[in-house]
Each structure stands twice: as structure tokens, then as C-alpha cells.
A and B are shown apart, each in its own frame.
Chain A
């Protein structure tokens, strides 16, 4: 019987990292990746309407690589918010990346993956990579996971950055209904994918309260609406989580 050669392993038995890099790169055609790309297409139009130049928009996507930060940044410039308010908003919106990195690193590192490699790879960790990795890491040998993730992460961020550039140029020619539908993708994508990764009662309450407080504070105190909604919503959600814990212990 002829066994087809297994390209994932070299003849000497070592793992073929390049093969796994390419396997990761093919994740470009996965559903989370396609949704993310569409959201970035929508974002390009948003940044354009906000008055950002082509170069600035592309630069922002490549360097920051976190849609919530992009939205707070562009939203801050639109609202003419102060530098400090915008920066604090981005700091708060990105805090969630720290636990996300801490949860994701053990899934993607091999025994000998260096700290510098992890620092580099951490730049690409976001909601989409979380969904992608969570569903696939078990099918990848542990020593090949960093290469697999790098293949996915570098490919999708490069493609999205280029895509944003192209859409920015084309955005003016889109029929209005298409532009509206693309813009609508981002909030729906976030709403569903964040709920998917929310496993504690506090995460779910934070989501619900934040959804209501955001527009409410926007009408009352637009300069700091996001900060207030995040702060008050987060504290309230955490308090609910504590009360649930206490009740559990009392039982």
C-alpha cells in the first residue's frame, strides 16, 4: 500500500514548521477571518468619512491591529475629544487584551518558544485570533503551534491592511446600501463574538449594561461617554458577580 508522504513532518522526524505556517495562512479562508476582513472593509469607509487620509488609515490598521482601539481612536477624532480622553478610552478598551493574551499563549507556545517570539506574536492576538485558535489548536502538534499561529496572524493582518487601502480608495464608489451594510458588520460582529468569549456572569452583565449606558451617556455627557459607560458598567457588573459568588457560598 502506498502511504502519501506526510508533509507536516520532515524525513528526519522533525516537525516541518513551514508546512504549518502555510496551513495557518490558509486560515485566511475561514469564517472568522472572512468576517474580520469584511469588518475592516466597513472600517475603511468609516475612517474615510471621519477625514483620515489613506496613509493614516492603513498605518493605523497595521500598527494597532485591534478594531475596538481603531473605533475609539476614530470616534474620538470625530467627537473632537481631548487627547487624554481618547487615550484613556483606548487604554480601557484594550485592557481585555491582557487576559486574552494570557489565556491564548499556553495554546500557541511550544516548549522552546522564546519570549521574543511570544512578544512578537502577541501583537496579533485579538478577538478573531482567539476564536480561530480556540477551535483549531488541538489539531496542530504543540511544537508547530507558534508557526501555525504566525502563518495565520501575519497573513490576515497583511491582507486586511492591504484591503483597507483598496477599500478606502473605492469607498466613494460603493452604492449607499452596500456602504451601510458594511458599516453595520462591525457592531454585529463585536456583539456576537464578544458574547461568545464571555464565560463569566460579570462579562455578560458588563455587555448588557455597557450597551445601555453608552448611548445614554452619549446624550448626557458626550465628551466622556465611553469612559463613564465602561467605568460604571464594569463596576456594576463586577458587583453583580460578587453578589452571585456570596450567594453561592451562603448556600
Chain B
């Protein structure tokens, strides 16, 4: 199948492509949220289901970024990436859900581990 991004050979096509494939399916939900605000209970069963699908999808993107990254991160051993992400998440939980602490620990292990293993 055609990837679409290079479908039409014109300078404006990638921009139109980004609007159609990226902006439209993203902002349509924000606009719907404004239009339906007050109409639907945030905890209605439909929304609980919708949130579950969206969360699972983003979670799949997250673990793919950790396990199958592009570029320089792929040089870091996969075990170190998993260790850094897991310990970062654990410290985030222990610290009372402080995102900053989670990121700090994860990055320290990633950078320190790479340095120690002599990856770069």
C-alpha cells in the first residue's frame, strides 16, 4: 500500500497530509468535547470504554518507543532501557506520583548505565 506521505509530488502535499491525517483526527475530539461538555457524565460507561481503548493505544506506543526505538537510543542495550524505565516508574509511585522524580531516576540510570557500560 501507498504510505501516503509521498503520494503526491508537490511541496504542499506533506502539509496537507499532516492536516488531514494528523490535525483533523486529533482536534475533532477536542471540538466534540467542547460541544458535548455538560451533556455527558465524564464517568459514563461509554467514556470509560473510550478512555480504556485510548489509554491502551498510547501505552502500546510507549512500550514500542522503549523496546524498539529509533536512532541513538537503540544503541543502548534493551535490558538497560527496561531497567531504567521500570525503576523510574517505581520511584514515581514511591514518591507519591511525582513525574519529575520518575523522569530523574529513569534518565540517571539510562545515562549512568550507558556510561558505565561504555555504550557511547
List residues of A whose CB falls within 8 A of some B CB: 31-32, 35, 45-46, 49-50, 52-53, 55-56, 59-60, 63-66, 68-73, 75-78, 80-83, 86-87, 89-103, 105-106, 115, 118-119, 122-123, 125, 131, 175-177, 179-181, 183-196, 198, 200, 202-203, 205-215, 217-218, 225-227, 229-235, 237-238, 241
Q: Is the CB of B75 within 8 A of A176?
A: yes
- Partner of B63 from A196, A205, A211, A237 at Cβ < 8 Å: A211
CB distance from A111 to the nearest CB of B (A): 14
User: Which of A64, A105, A188, A231 has the most chain B CB within a 10 Å cutoff?
Assistant: A188
* Complex CA–CA separation, A214 to B56 (angstroms): 9
1/0 per residue, CB under 8 A from A, across B61-95: the answer is: 11111111111110110000100110011001000
Contacts between chains A and B (CB distance < 8 A), count: 327
Please provide the chain B residues from 28 to 69 with a CB less than 8 Å away from any CB of chain A in the complex: 28-34, 36-37, 40, 42-43, 47-69
Known: A91-B25, A92-B57. A241 touches B52 (CB 8 A): yes
**Chain A CB within 8 A of B2 CB:** yes
Contacts of A115 in B (CB 8 A): 34
A90 B64 Cβ-Cβ under 8 A: no
A93 near B58: Cβ-Cβ < 8 Å: yes
Interface of B, helix, strand, loop or mixed by DSSP: helix
Q: A202 contacts which of B31, B52, B73 (Cβ < 8 Å)?
A: B52
- Is there an interface contact between A214 and B34, defined as CB atoms closer than 8 Å? no
Task: Indicate whether B10 reaches chain A with its CB closer than 8 angstroms.
Answer: no
A116 to B27, CA, bound (A): 14
Within 8 Å CB of B15, what residues of A? Answer: 55-56, 59
B residues near A, CB below 8 A?
1-5, 7, 14-15, 18-23, 25-34, 36-37, 40, 42-43, 47-73, 75-76, 81, 84-85, 88-89, 92, 97, 99-100, 102-103, 106-107, 110-111, 114-115, 119-120
CB distance from A56 to the nearest CB of B (A): 5
- CB contact between A64 and one of B2, B22, B56 (< 8 Å): that residue: B22
Whose C-beta in chain B lies nearest to the C-beta of A88?
B25
Contacts of B52 in A (CB 8 A): 202-203, 205-206, 233-235, 237-238, 241
Chain A residues, Cβ within 8 Å of B68: 215, 218
Contact B42 A102 (CB under 8 A): yes
Complex contacts, A73 vs chain B, CB 8 Å: 18, 21-22
The smallest C-beta distance from A114 to any residue of chain B, in angstroms, reads 11
The answer to whether B42 and A99 have CB atoms under 8 Å apart is yes
Chain B residues closer than 8 Å to A187, beta-carbon distance:
62-63, 65-66, 85
| Cβ contact within 8 Å between B49 and A234 | yes
Cross-chain contact A225 with B60 (CB below 8 angstroms): yes
Question: Once the chains are docked, how many angstroms separate the CA of A190 from the CA of B100?
Answer: 12
Among B50, B57, B64, B70, residue most surrounded by chain A Cβ atoms (within 10 Å): B57
The 8 Å CB contact of A198, one of B18, B55, B92, is: B55
Tell me how far the C-beta of A245 lies from the nearest C-beta in chain B, rounded to whole angstroms.
9
